[in-house]
Amino acid sequence: MDIPMEIVYQRPESLTDTHTHYCPGCGHGIAHRLVAEALDELNMRERTILVAPVGCSVFAYDYFNVDGCVAAHGRAPAMATGMKRLLPDHIVLTYQGDGDLASIGIAEIMHAAARGEKITTIFVNNAIYGMTGGQMAPTTLPGQKTTSSPFGRNTDIAGYPIRMSEILAQLDGSVYVVRRSIHDVQNIRKTKKAILTALKVQEAGLGFSVVEILSNCPTNWGMTAEESLTWVEENMVPYYPLGDFKVRDDAKELV
């Protein structure tokens, strides 16, 4: 007798059917899916507002089946602040890259965290400006070759990368600050768990939550998708250690 099959995985409802413009193997696709699965599981889709950044993920509002808009470069936390204060029963998410959050938008993210805004930030860190052709970002590793640092990042001239999660964890307004990676299946699952916790922190109204996701950029790193995930594991994870930098006591029961 044939045993009936049941669907165990399908496209989450919080993603639209639009084909993404991301390059083959881009980590944004994985990060998008994890956020969408988390929104589905927590049944938040109908009351979520997504603030898309400027960067590769600028069209995120086309890919998520939630309300959304795009902020000026780096200003997603400021826009999200206004939305959350006007619509406190909504879930307000910002989805930002490292060029957006750690460079031009560093003032907005720092003050949103310091004010303890009850929003959630998904911070995708791929150590490069992807959309504009792979220039050096604030998060580019020392010695890493980019189109604007063809001999590798020289720390005498360009300084050192910024570890955003460690900085944000110092601010009293932040409640849940963690860094995860998507370089293998196990870490992808951990990342999803962190996104679920961050959304629960916002739902409980505790304060600011952020999940930093180490991601890849196969095109601008000049690698295949598989090589780029290995590069994340071997080069980015040692510089940007994974872990929980801050889980405030009242958020521990949500983890």
Partner 1 sequence: MAQGTVWIDRERCKGCGLCPTVCPKDALEMDLISLNAKGYHPAVLINEAACTGCAICAVICPDVCITVAREAKPARV
The contact set with partner 1 (CB under 8 A) reads 2-12, 15, 19-20, 22-30, 32-33, 184-185, 188-189, 218, 224-226, 229
CA distances from 120 to 8, 35, 95, 176 (A): 28, 11, 9, 9
Q: Which is nearer to partner 1, 209 or 228 (CB)?
A: 228
Q: Which is nearer to partner 1, 77 or 218 (CB)?
A: 218
Q: Which is nearer to partner 1, 84 or 180 (CB)?
A: 180
CB of 185 vs partner 1, minimal distance in Å: 5
Q: Which is nearer to partner 1, 6 or 253 (CB)?
A: 6
- Distance between CA atoms of residues 103 and 229, nearest Å: 24
CB of 235 vs partner 1, minimal distance in Å: 19
Q: Which is nearer to partner 1, 63 or 176 (CB)?
A: 63
- Distance between CA atoms of residues 97 and 128, nearest Å: 9
CB of 9 vs partner 1, minimal distance in Å: 4
CB of 135 vs partner 1, minimal distance in Å: 23
Residue reference for tokens 């640092």: 149
Residue reference for tokens 């460079």: 103
Identity (one letter) of the amino acid at 88? Answer: P
Neighbour count for residue 186 (Cβ, 10 Å):
9
Rounded (10°) angle between helices 76-86 and 106-115: 30
CB of 221 vs partner 1, minimal distance in Å: 14
Tokens of 22: 């991301």
CB of 11 vs partner 1, minimal distance in Å: 5
∠ CA(187), CA(192), CA(196), 5° rounding?
A: 145
- Distance between CA atoms of residues 176 and 97, nearest Å: 19
β-bridge mates for residue 91, sequence order: 48
Q: Which is nearer to partner 1, 106 or 131 (CB)?
A: 131
- Distance between CA atoms of residues 51 and 121, nearest Å: 9
